[in-house]
Structure 1
């Protein structure tokens, strides 16, 4: 495989750069509209966000952080109280518009969702208690979605961001769907990043937690991922049908979704694979998974 051949699945650390555990940006072949940085800081560590041509959402994964951010007309310091892990309910997040720079300091892991843009919006702090929590699906397709960066929740220029928690043995990103054609009112063109974490269920003692993730081709392009995924792994979906993401028995699965695209409107509109769309109808009358929602009050490991 040449350096210019796109790779759509990257293992933890494959994309390490300049103090970051992972960096996804336009330097990757075939990638244009979205970005992601994953940082892992020790006590008293700090790392800079110096690029001004992107908007960002800073998302604590585990730990607490202080963000000093600079943009017109001055400088602010915002404390992100965070959480113990991605399986302990929503976190507070910080949206920074294009033109901003920032320094993140603290101890723990955090993600920075990015999208190149020259448009600006007001910066915004979203507390964990203000994060819309959606319980989606039913039965073994039950999952929990934190919609802090969706069009209904955040005034951003390009970014659409959310996170999904899938309990052990459940399926999410299902039925398989795509968003790679501009069909007004029906489907939008969006690149998508999946950043994964996995952990033993509450009370579990397992190691090497994992889930499974799949993509396959659509008329917009050829892609094929059928892989075991775990903490720190990243899947890139430029086009094609994606899903399911499956949590293995004994292990809960988390993913952060980062989306943006070339369409004039910031909308998340999808088309299910016609071969599997009927599955949605089977959810009617099914009980929702009573393990959800996961909250900060429940505790973990």
Structure 2
């Protein structure tokens, strides 16, 4: 079955100047949130002083965040396909105002636990080149436990070159098994663009594909064509692949959190497809990676 709650087309949940707001007001959703917004001509976006931790992630453009009597510039990028960006973690209960020009995302997780706000510069973002062959992708781990002292969420972003598969093999994290599997909701915020260095006609319409399907008796069957700004929610179940169509690079921002006592990302592969990981030992990393702010052509 498909559930319209689990797919949010770009611009379908606007609120208070934000393009889209995902939070616990969506039926069946409880542990994660996401805001996306666009700024120009001196506008601003406000973050209320809720019991929510946040991570401010520039998507395109640069911004300044005012919070706790301080201001923090965030050196962004022209697009999500230009490598890492500065990010800013805001501890729970911290109101803030974002100014600048461009598009921005704010990952969220409700929590009463307060961690100190923290700035992570672009050059300090851990960059991981994951997989091999047509499963090669680039991961920016700015909101993982190793990089950020957060209370609840795990946040990262992934760039997948045109024609490659990501979030593959399909996997799940919907049942708490200590040391083996985590119970985490997951948000995928997508963008797609004509692949670097490719000449495309004006009518080109970049897209990618997203898949989620049942891992137990909880019914879910999502297979979506996604475009820039679309959001896919994974409450449970196997998810993957996320596929970059030939000709179009794919980006997604992941936000994960759940009810488990430990903040950790442990997954279980779909046994029908997990064996594919072994084939990577005999393949090379896609030579198009890494994607950087100033790519070498």
Specify the TM-score bucket, using the shorter chain as the normaliser: over 0.9
Q: Which 5+ residue runs of structure 1 have no aligned equivalent?
A: none
8 Å CA contact 1:220–1:239 kept in 2: the answer is no
Residue in 1 that maps onto 2:269: 272
Q: Give TM-score, length-normalised by structure 2.
A: 0.96
For the pair 1:155 / 2:159, whether they are aligned, the reply is: no
3, 6, 9: which one aligns with 2:7: 9
Aligned length: 293
Shift in Å, 1:270: 0.3
In the alignment, structure 1 residue 244 sits paired with structure 2 residue 241: yes
Find the counterpart in structure 1 of residue 59 from structure 2: 61
Separation in 2, partners of 1:80, 1:50: 20
Please show how residues 79-228 of structure 1 align to structure 2 within 5 Å. 79-204=73-198, 205-206=200-201, 207-219=204-216, 221-228=218-225
Query: How big is the shift at 1:284?
Result: 0.8
Q: Does 1:36 pair with 2:34?
A: yes
Matched, 1:297 2:294: yes
1:216-246: CA deviations, max 9, x gaps?
0011622111111110000000000000001
- CA 1:184/1:39 → structure 2, altered by over 3 Å: closer, same or farther? same
What is the aligned partner in structure 1 of residue 48 from structure 2? 50
How far, CA to CA, are the matches of 1:193 and 1:253 in structure 2?
15
Offset at residue 51 of structure 1 (A):
3.5
- Under a length normalisation based on structure 1, what TM-score does the superposition of the two structures give? 0.95
**Structure 2 unaligned blocks of 5 or more:** none
SS of residue in 1 equivalent to 2:214 = strand
- What CA distance in whole angstroms lies between the structure 2 residues aligned with 1:242 and 1:299? 33
* 3-state secondary structure, aligned to 2:277: helix
1:283 aligned residue: 280
1:26 to partner: Cα distance? 0.5
Inter-partner Cα distance in structure 2 for 1:222 and 1:8: 12
Separation in 2, partners of 1:161, 1:210: 23
Tell me how far 1:21 sits from its aligned partner: 0.6
**Alpha-carbon deviations, 1:112-157, whole Å to 9, x = none?**
0000000011111000000000000000000000000001110000
Instruction: Tell me how far 1:16 sits from its aligned partner.
Output: 1.4
Alpha-carbon distance in structure 2 between the residues aligned to 1:42 and 1:299: 30
CA RMSD between the two structures: 1.4
Kept after mapping to 2: 8 A contact 1:88/1:299: no
Task: Work out whether residues 218 and 240 of structure 1, in 8 Å CA contact, stay in contact via their aligned partners in 2.
Answer: yes
Secondary structure of 1:15 counterpart = coil
Counterparts of 1:9 and 1:262 in 2: how far apart (Å)? 22
